[in-house]
Structure 1
Amino acid sequence: MEPDSTSQGERRWMVRVERTVGAVAAYNHRRPALALLLAVVLAAAGGFFARNLRLNANLVDLLPNSFESVQDLHALEQRFGALGWVAVVGEGGNAESLERFANDLSPKLEALPGIRFVEAKRPSAFFRDRALYFLSEDDLKEVSRRLEARIQWEKQRANPLYVDLLDEGPPSLDFSDLEKKYGGSAGQRLSNNEGDYYLDPDARRVVLLAKPDTTSADLGYSRRIIGEVRGLLDAQDLSKYGPDFRVNLTGTFQKKLDQQAQISRDIAVSSAVALALMLLYLLFHFRSALAVGLVLTPVGAGLAWTYGLVGAVYGQVNLLTGFLGAILGGLGIEHGIHLLGRYLHLRGDGESSEQATRESFTHTGGAALVSALVAALTFFVLGTSRFRAFREFGVIAGVGMLVLVAAYVLVLPALLGLTARWRWRPRLAAASPRHSPMGRVLVRHRMLITAVSAVLLAGLLTQVPRVRFDYDFRSLEDQGLPSFVLDREVNRIIGYSQTPVVVLTDTPEQEQAMVHALQETQRAHGKDSTIDFVASLSSLVPADQQAKQAVLQRLSKQLEDVPEERLSPQQREQLASLRREARAQPFTRNDLPASVRQQFQSRQGGTGGFVMVYPSVSLSDGKAVRAMAREVRGVDPEGVQRSPIAGEAMVMADILDMVTHEGPLILGGATLAVLLAMWATLGGLRMALLCLAPTVVSLLALVGLMPLMGAKFNYLNILIVPVLIGTTVDAGVHLLTRLSSPGSDFVAVYSETGRAICGGLLTSAMGFGALFLADHPGLNSIGAVANLGFASNLLIMLVAFPALLLVLSERRQRRRRACRVNENETTVAGTPGSKPATHTS
């Protein structure tokens, strides 16, 4: 396969770059001490800046501050404090001991510094005694009418002269229709009417909710609060509540710490396993411990430099960038396999160490530079995302790819120079074999292999419409962690979600208007509404209480006339409750239980209030969360300025909207950037398209394989698509660059380059495979999809693509032979005295 003159002309500037890289490598080979000293100084500086790197797994910090949900959340935290609770769960006692535990621990918890208040009891009794005030005046009159009808019926039956000709039954005292009508009110839902404690006697659990003063995003504060609570619990004599009594913690703060600890463990374990696998493979690939050291030393230096930059610029790593060490290590080792493999091959041909170094870095190094530039450009396109996890991943990975190439140019030639001075001569086993059986098979059966590959690809393309996007936000968190499992039980015991959406208001009038508008929206949506109920101080203090009191006073007198002897036990109990409720006095906000008031009051005082919107949908359902965000944000009370609407649901909705919007743009931008970069560096559009073809085909194969493997895209693993574009294109660059050299033999080039491609893709897969070992489901899915993509690319690069190149090359050679024959015939025909040539069509 020979490049045409046009392509050679277009690549002149790239040839100069390659020669420069080769010259720099040769200089470092001659002066190894200077190069290694510079590398050590840079690595030491990198280690210094990276020494205080910390992990931040908080999702809110991954969104830009310009987002509504982030600004509103900061406003809420400033006025209200922490979103969420520290939930203390006592388990293993009977109902009496569980209540005693709640009573004993509640004041001690509230005395801890940083705890604003503790909810140990439901406000059930307060709202139960005042339930009639939450009925409308008309419905109170309906209660009075039903009672009066029953009283008159009873009086008639008590008269011995009364004869019931119609034999009608007693008027019903069933008020279940009114209970159903008002059962969803804020007071009823918050009290839940299931006892005075957050207690489940069947599960033998009781819950205490402690409200910290600061947000759980501050991990140092979260650790201190959880540590203080655990210290208090450890100091208690739990045996007095039962022999099997125990205490566990859950809630937003404990879940955040558990997730942080899990991701830290994932990073440590997965990176260690990935490093071990890479070491084992390199030993198998090169059969030399020294060769393994030659490959890994530049990678270690490059990673030290990269994380030094990360520490200086960001100061922390996030959910994705924490794993970049393993990922960049795998991608960097790929360059080392190609460079050292070429060096060993040239040494086996009798080249001197310096000449082999210059030649390796001129050609293979040039290809490595092209592939690194292309990969970096793809990562930088990903770095344009507003989602901080993607943006930082893209920027750090892009810089890391360039830094790793620089590390190889600086360190590897210097190490090779030292080994040459130490008279190290690589064993022939370390070099790649001259000819592989697979290369001969490809040459012999190129047409059949190409046809079979096309059929398999067509079959996979039929599965593409079946690929699905997983809208379940549980892919962002491990729902199997003990604190997450217990938190769901706490929500069940409480009876509503612990994570409502909060609307901030400035005045009581705005608060009332917002509550009314939200309730109207809920009614308008009917059963499709994502709102469970709306609560605020204004909704907990009913209007028109004086007018209602007058009706209740008349009702109270009626209740005294009801003959109890003719009622069933259940009706007598209901009558006693009605008498108690009818005697209740009007109440104001100040009369509400302290535990209720504290939930709706600013920690800074003032007149500002809060409207709690409790969801009726699961916050792990992405589609439902987006619908809730639209429903709540669509509320616009007349005369009320825009109110901040904060909560986990709003943040999740913004993440999903952003990923959905940016995904196609990033994918298109990455593909275009890669194509333009290769066009510029490889010297022609045809060459660039050929290099990009295996990547595009492997991505299509990946999408087709996912439904068959039961895999789905989600909010995190969707980034694998542009990443695979940048990281798999270098295999095509290396193969085509070598085949384009004058006089290249396909079987020999395939034997050497194919082995390096296989090793490079395997080590890259091992780097991403570190995520496959993670317990975190989102990170795990990234590893699974990435490895499926690398496996597809490996098969295409080693089998389908080389066979296709052979077919295209054979076709091109036939056209050239035909052209030369036609030219010769034309020349002969134009010679004087010759007979005209005969052509058949």
Structure 2
Amino acid sequence: MKNILRWCFKNITQKYPGSVLVFAILLSGLSIYVSLGLSYNSRMDNLLPQDLPLIKEFNEVVAKTGGSGPLVVVLEGLGQKRAPEAIRKLSNLLAEVEGAQYIDSQVPKEFLNNRQLLMLTRNELTQLESMIGGAIEYAREQLTGFSADGELFNPEKLQAFSENYQLFGEINPYHKGKNQRNYYIFVGLKGTVTDTDFTEKFVAQVQSAIDSSGLENQIPGLEIKLTGSLIVRLEENSFIISDLGNSALLAAFLVTAMILIYTRSWFSIPLIIFPLLLSMTYTFALTRLIIGHLNIISGFLVAILMGLGIDYGIHLYIRFKQELFKGRSIPGAAELAVTQVGRSGIIAMLTTISVFSILIFSEFLGFSEFGKIATLGIICAFFTYIFVFPAQAIFYDRVHWLGKPRPRLFVFKIYKLYSNTPYFLSVLFILLLVSSLFLLPHIEFEYDFQELRGDSPAADYETASTNDFGFAFSPTVMLTPKKENLFHVHQALETVREKNGERSTIGLQYSLNQFSRQEFESKKEILGRIRELFYEERNIIKLALGVARFVKFEQMLTSEPFDESAIPESIIYKLTAGDDFLLLMFSPSDKNFFNVKHVYQLSREMKDVKGILAEKNVPVSILNENLLAAEIMAWVKDKGPQAMVVAIAVVFLILILDLQSIVLAIKTFLPLITGLVLTGAIMAFFEVKLNFINIVMLPSIIGIMIGSCVYLSHHILDYSMGSTMKSLQETGSAIILSALTSLAGYASLNIAHHAGVNSIATVVEVGILTCTICALFMLPALFELGMSKASNIKDENNIDADIDLLDNVNDEA
């Protein structure tokens, strides 16, 4: 390996340093041009395999309906007197917006009036029958004073039921919230809600239409706001894109400042940073050509690549300066740094690539795309440094008016600790490893999506508006090719809802089936029983309800079935998608899908519904983005630990092949494992939770930190056994600087507004700190085991001599 690196240096880099630099810069310019088309894709469905049945259903329904929920326009503080005029004016303006499919601002009162009972499901009618019976007994007890044993009647439950379905009042012609001054208009989209460019343009046009209406100026106290999942998604996208830019700039500044402060040399900036920047442009271009986009996991590419790629430059630079200190010329020092550090770099690259390449083969595309980008970045960084770093050093040396890099010995001054107490340190870290294993089962997983999103005004307002309206704005959309299938879908939903009781996420259902004769016939018997009970106990019911409510209830009981030929066009348009028919299922407002327990409940219930329908050969496609979230969570929890275990095994195998000794491989690998286990223990102790974003970084900690162990063990072996302290003296500083720059790169994510992305920084920072400590203290102690005392004394004397020489050089300077 060294011979190949030496040949490349002598025949390419040393002969043509200027040409190497020009070629690298031109290639970077071309890469920048290619990478301009790299985009950020926020779609959650793109994180899952596209041949997954759930994804196929999702794409089918989105293509036919545009998405799972409308844009919601909320008119706050609108009085009843001005409502008709304001809603009519605004609806007309919204209908003219390009991309608007429908405007749902009014309830078809004439068509639905006195038919509220016909809109109830069979289970709901059965509940109503039971509550009416309970109310009659309760009223009789109040009149006679005689109380029969039985279940206590809850009048508040009947009151809430009647209010939810407007049983005793006139149907409000507009969509009104519990706050009597809040009105809602629903705007359907022709495009797909997953198309960010379309939705941004559409929302801007809707806002422009609202502004042009002048209603907020004309009506005192009126505020018109936009909400719905579409608005929440756009806000989240804007936060992430903003975080991308801010974290990239902060990472670049912190890494540059850290290197400059540590090395105290301006030459370190071009030698270390310039190749890194070139390699990142190559990576961006390859990402654009191979993948085409970034996702929520791979989006923070700059911070990740800085942490992964800069290690090669730091180790090359530190070794280069130390060889200059030993009296070598700049070309000679560059050659030795490239051949010796390059050999360790190749093994470090292979181990790191092995970690991320495992992710490439994951069917979970969030892992796969991250693995591809990280692998490309590592390869680009290594080869860029191997050629550009020495080319810069030689080229600058040939420019006579430029200053020259000054020799410097980076000293790690606590070396005596290892030779005096290797057994103590080894046992101490092994005890830490064993004790930390008991804390690993206590690591928790974050299930609250609202916690991952962080502060979100749009999400908070959507929650408040949903509670006011009573049902979720984004329904679960069910698509079926035949109208008669809707009846069976309703029956399946009711079966599953009855099975799950209060835990159920199945709420209000809306489809053309509710106006069908078949649906009426299925409920005719229950309606007959309620009607019979009503007339048998009419006197006591009239006394309990009052005359007005009694008359209203009687009108509902005697109303004729719906005339299917008279269904308003607005309803048909809303409940069909081309030749297919839709069923909209609205979950209760208290089943907030920010709580993943409700997401999993919805997922289970929809699977049960599908199972029931499959037995009847009724085809149905279901769309709800929360179903994607449940699937992603399942994949991450399943595939994440598997990738971790495989990565550890592959890295250990590579070390055995490289070092050709199981004992040496264990000594090199054990500090990394100890660091990883300590990271998990610290997370468990301080209640730092894993989530579907930061869990992908666990394998990357292996990739970042295995390099430190490889560089140090190779240096020890290159000096031959017995010179552990000499190796630590020369390599320890590079390991510390590498850890600091990696920390600086990931620390930039601490400013991310998105809490899930912010958590990446916390996990990786803890991992880097623990693994660095283990590499610097545990690995040398393990290699010191079995060393003779004479060799240790000789080694310490050599180090002391180097330090004395360094002090003399500093005094002369």
User: Of the candidates 425, 430, 440, which is equivalent to residue 416 of structure 2?
Assistant: 440
Give the match for residue 619 of structure 1: 593
**Displacement of 1:440:** 2.2
- Contact 1:450 1:800 (8 Å CA) reproduced: yes
Inter-CA distance 611–93: structure 2 relative to 1 (3 Å threshold): closer
- Contact 1:32 1:414 (8 Å CA) reproduced: yes
Aligned-CA RMSD value:
3.8
In 2, the alpha carbon distance for the partners of 1:578 and 1:72 equals 42
**Displacement of 1:239:** 4.0
Q: Any idea what the Cα deviations from partners look like across 1:527-581, whole Å, max 9, x if unmatched? A: 34343344432145541399689969998996999699x947x512322322442
| 127-136 or 248-257, which deviates more | 127-136
In 2, the alpha carbon distance for the partners of 1:103 and 1:590 equals 26
Where 1:544 maps in the other structure, the secondary structure is helix
The one-letter code matched in structure 2 to 1:614 is: S
Work out whether 1:485 is the aligned partner of 2:460.
yes
Q: What pairs with 1:364-403 in structure 2 (closer than 5 Å)?
A: 364-403=341-380
- Contact 1:330 1:763 (8 Å CA) reproduced: yes
In 2, the alpha carbon distance for the partners of 1:352 and 1:303 equals 30
Inter-CA distance 189–589: structure 2 relative to 1 (3 Å threshold): farther
**Displacement of 1:202:** 4.8
Give the match for residue 571 of structure 1: 546
Give the match for residue 21 of structure 1: 5
User: Of the candidates 476, 488, 491, which is equivalent to residue 513 of structure 1?
Assistant: 488
The one-letter code matched in structure 1 to 2:226 is: L
Work out whether 1:129 is the aligned partner of 2:104.
no
**Displacement of 1:591:** 4.2
The one-letter code matched in structure 2 to 1:45 is: L
The one-letter code matched in structure 2 to 1:258 is: E
Give the match for residue 632 of structure 1: 606
Give the match for residue 297 of structure 1: 274
Q: What pairs with 1:223-238 in structure 2 (closer than 5 Å)?
A: 223-238=200-215
Q: What pairs with 1:411-490 in structure 2 (closer than 5 Å)?
A: 411-423=388-400, 426=404, 428=406, 431-433=408-410, 435-474=411-450, 478=453, 480-490=455-465
**Displacement of 1:240:** 4.5
- Contact 1:32 1:415 (8 Å CA) reproduced: yes
In 2, the alpha carbon distance for the partners of 1:707 and 1:190 equals 53
Work out whether 1:249 is the aligned partner of 2:233.
no
- Contact 1:270 1:770 (8 Å CA) reproduced: yes
Give the match for residue 81 of structure 1: 66
Where 1:19 maps in the other structure, the secondary structure is helix
Q: What pairs with 1:1-150 in structure 2 (closer than 5 Å)?
A: 17-26=1-10, 27-97=12-82, 100-122=85-107, 127=112, 129-133=114-118
In 1, the alpha carbon distance for the partners of 2:32 and 2:587 equals 48
Inter-CA distance 808–774: structure 2 relative to 1 (3 Å threshold): farther
In 2, the alpha carbon distance for the partners of 1:811 and 1:676 equals 32
Give the match for residue 778 of structure 1: 756
Inter-CA distance 442–630: structure 2 relative to 1 (3 Å threshold): same
Work out whether 1:799 is the aligned partner of 2:777.
yes
Inter-CA distance 189–732: structure 2 relative to 1 (3 Å threshold): farther
**Displacement of 1:75:** 1.3
Work out whether 1:723 is the aligned partner of 2:697.
no
Give the match for residue 737 of structure 1: 714
Where 1:799 maps in the other structure, the secondary structure is helix
TM-score (norm 2): 0.86
- Contact 1:82 1:213 (8 Å CA) reproduced: no
In 2, the alpha carbon distance for the partners of 1:195 and 1:808 equals 88
User: Of the candidates 272, 275, 283, which is equivalent to residue 306 of structure 1?
Assistant: 283
Where 1:469 maps in the other structure, the secondary structure is coil
In 2, the alpha carbon distance for the partners of 1:752 and 1:650 equals 54
Where 1:321 maps in the other structure, the secondary structure is coil
Q: Any idea what the Cα deviations from partners look like across 1:97-145, whole Å, max 9, x if unmatched? A: 45653333122212322111122245678656213445779979989x9
Inter-CA distance 392–703: structure 2 relative to 1 (3 Å threshold): same
Gaps of 5+ in 1: 1-16, 154-165, 815-841
Give the match for residue 756 of structure 1: 734
Q: What pairs with 1:154-233 in structure 2 (closer than 5 Å)?
A: 188=165, 196-200=173-177, 202=179, 205-233=182-210
**Displacement of 1:336:** 0.7
Q: Any idea what the Cα deviations from partners look like across 1:326-349, whole Å, max 9, x if unmatched? A: 211232222111001101110111
The one-letter code matched in structure 1 to 2:708 is: A
Work out whether 1:331 is the aligned partner of 2:308.
yes
Where 1:508 maps in the other structure, the secondary structure is coil
- Contact 2:248 2:303 (8 Å CA) reproduced: yes
In 1, the alpha carbon distance for the partners of 2:659 and 2:349 equals 13
Inter-CA distance 95–286: structure 2 relative to 1 (3 Å threshold): farther
In 2, the alpha carbon distance for the partners of 1:305 and 1:188 equals 61
Q: Any idea what the Cα deviations from partners look like across 1:611-653, whole Å, max 9, x if unmatched? A: 5363674323334423432332233234324422222122112
In 1, the alpha carbon distance for the partners of 2:685 and 2:127 equals 62
In 1, the alpha carbon distance for the partners of 2:775 and 2:557 equals 82
The one-letter code matched in structure 2 to 1:506 is: P
Where 2:419 maps in the other structure, the secondary structure is helix
| 129-138 or 111-120, which deviates more | 129-138
**Displacement of 1:295:** 0.6
TM-score (norm 1): 0.83
In 1, the alpha carbon distance for the partners of 2:575 and 2:297 equals 36
User: Of the candidates 330, 339, 343, which is equivalent to residue 362 of structure 1?
Assistant: 339
Give the match for residue 766 of structure 1: 744
| 676-685 or 753-762, which deviates more | 676-685
User: Of the candidates 542, 556, 563, which is equivalent to residue 581 of structure 1?
Assistant: 556
- Contact 1:58 1:217 (8 Å CA) reproduced: yes
| 242-251 or 716-725, which deviates more | 242-251
In 1, the alpha carbon distance for the partners of 2:66 and 2:167 equals 21
Q: Any idea what the Cα deviations from partners look like across 1:234-292, whole Å, max 9, x if unmatched? A: 21213445444333222232222222211111010011111111011110121111221
Give the match for residue 512 of structure 2: 537
Q: Any idea what the Cα deviations from partners look like across 1:192-236, whole Å, max 9, x if unmatched? A: 999554444759543322111121111121122112101111212
- Contact 1:432 1:755 (8 Å CA) reproduced: no
**Displacement of 1:481:** 2.1
| 393-402 or 452-461, which deviates more | 452-461
Gaps of 5+ in 2: 793-813
- Contact 2:256 2:269 (8 Å CA) reproduced: yes
The one-letter code matched in structure 2 to 1:516 is: Q
Q: Any idea what the Cα deviations from partners look like across 1:342-380, whole Å, max 9, x if unmatched? A: 011101111111111111111111111211121112111
In 2, the alpha carbon distance for the partners of 1:115 and 1:393 equals 36
The alignment covers a number of residue pairs equal to 773
- Contact 1:39 1:301 (8 Å CA) reproduced: yes
Give the match for residue 6 of structure 1: none
Identity %: 23
Inter-CA distance 574–50: structure 2 relative to 1 (3 Å threshold): same
Q: Any idea what the Cα deviations from partners look like across 1:732-785, whole Å, max 9, x if unmatched? A: 101111111235633332122111001111212222223232111111111111
In 2, the alpha carbon distance for the partners of 1:745 and 1:549 equals 91
The one-letter code matched in structure 2 to 1:797 is: A
Q: Any idea what the Cα deviations from partners look like across 1:154-208, whole Å, max 9, x if unmatched? A: xxxxxxxxxxxx978999xxx9989968987999399999955444475954332
The one-letter code matched in structure 2 to 1:76 is: V
**Displacement of 1:422:** 2.6
